[in-house]
């Protein structure tokens, strides 16, 4: 569905992404690695938010591949590559429904018709309700987004990312900052959307990664050091040394937890 060839991003003397060859099929793939490994930079390159120093990004189109390396973020989104963000990114003063309806309209043919009455866009409202039903927020449709819990806002972000029915979803830490009571709900939602979308997931909770992933890719210092099924990656000595540090199921590594807290604090 989506692939890179030799994808590289330099920031002065720092190489954040280093000649990455990657391909995402119709699966749920998790992208993991220590802080500073290049995960967010890689997401930004895939979606056109950053221009690569070298290499290409390609999207499957029919039986072939289309080069989207130089496409702007809105162009990449229109081609079917949507993403969520680590930091909650919704319109707080708009209703839950309106957040998704706007995203649906932006993905449709009426994206520039901003002065027409919303009643002319009933089809987008219907599609928005369908997305809210999928993420379990139909009963909050008329509430301001600002009134949602953090976990519910994460669900809303997934609904927004689903607007326009993309083929590829890039989910950047959908559980970041979510209460322990809501983690299972968000995890189940990620598994659900992976049933009919190619999903690339950045996630620090290794219990979730090992539980939901068809495949795990590990970045370290901008390079891929492992790309395999979860069990093989967990047993890889290079991955143990670079990131997992003796992780066992049910025991989130202390370094990983510290990293998550540090990133949330800087958001």
More confident residue, 107 or 234: 234
- Please report the pLDDT score of residue 109 as a whole number: 55
- Please report the pLDDT score of residue 35 as a whole number: 87
Residues 185/217, Cβ–Cβ less than 8 Å: no
Question: Which stretches within the chain are classed as H helix?
Answer: 39-46, 73-78, 96-107, 122-135, 150-162, 180-193, 206-212, 230-235, 237-239, 254-266
Distance CA 97, CA 138 (A): 8
- Please report the pLDDT score of residue 245 as a whole number: 67
Burial of residue 115 (CB within 10 Å: 0-12, 13-18, 19+) is exposed
- Please report the pLDDT score of residue 199 as a whole number: 97
| pLDDT of 231 strictly over 70 | yes
Fold exhibited by the domain 2-88+167-266 = Rossmann fold (3.40.50)
Distance CA 61, CA 101 (A): 27
- Please report the pLDDT score of residue 266 as a whole number: 41
Q: In the structure, what pLDDT confidence band is assigned to residue 87 with cuts at 50, 70 and 90? A: confident
pLDDT tens-place string over residues 165-221: 999 999 999 988 888 888 899 999 999 999 999 999 999 888 999 999 999 999 999
- Please report the pLDDT score of residue 246 as a whole number: 57
- Please report the pLDDT score of residue 182 as a whole number: 86
Q: Are strands 215-220 and 223-228 parallel, antiparallel or unpaired?
A: antiparallel
- Please report the pLDDT score of residue 263 as a whole number: 42
Q: In the structure, what pLDDT confidence band is assigned to residue 62 with cuts at 50, 70 and 90? A: confident
**Span 9-19, average pLDDT:** 95
| pLDDT of 137 strictly over 60 | yes
Q: In the structure, what pLDDT confidence band is assigned to residue 254 with cuts at 50, 70 and 90? A: very low
What pTM value is reported for the model? 0.84
**Span 88-110, average pLDDT:** 86
| pLDDT of 132 strictly over 90 | yes
pLDDT tens-place string over residues 20-47: 999 999 999 999 999 889 999 999 999 9
Mean pLDDT of the chain: 87
């Amino acid at each position: 569905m989506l692939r890179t060839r030799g994808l590289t991003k330099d920031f002065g003397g720092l190489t954040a992404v280093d000649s990455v060859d990657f391909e995402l099929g119709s699966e749920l793939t998790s992208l993991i690695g220590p802080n500073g490994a290049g995960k967010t930079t890689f997401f930004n390159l895939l979606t056109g938010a950053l221009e690569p120093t070298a290499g290409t990004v390609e999207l499957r189109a029919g039986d072939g591949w289309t080069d989207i390396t130089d496409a702007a973020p809105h162009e990449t989104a229109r081609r079917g590559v949507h993403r969520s963000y680590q930091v909650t990114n919704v319109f707080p003063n708009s209703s839950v429904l309106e957040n998704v309806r706007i995203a649906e309209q932006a993905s449709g043919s009426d994206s520039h018709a901003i002065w027409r009455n919303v009643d002319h866009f009933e089809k987008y409202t219907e599609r928005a309700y369908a997305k809210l039903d999928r993420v379990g927020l139909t009963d909050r449709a008329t509430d301001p987004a600002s009134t949602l819990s953090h976990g519910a806002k994460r669900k809303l972000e997934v609904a927004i990312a689903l607007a326009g029915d993309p083929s590829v979803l890039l989910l950047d830490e959908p559980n970041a900052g979510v209460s322990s009571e809501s983690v299972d709900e968000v995890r189940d939602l990620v598994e659900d959307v992976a049933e009919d979308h190619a999903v690339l997931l950045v996630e620090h909770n290794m219990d979730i990664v090992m539980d939901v992933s068809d495949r795990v890719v590990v970045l370290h210092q901008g390079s891929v050091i492992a790309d395999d099924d979860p069990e093989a990656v967990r047993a890889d000595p290079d991955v143990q040394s670079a990131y997992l540090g003796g992780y066992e199921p049910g025991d989130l590594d202390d370094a990983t937890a510290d990293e998550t807290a540090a990133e949330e604090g800087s958001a």
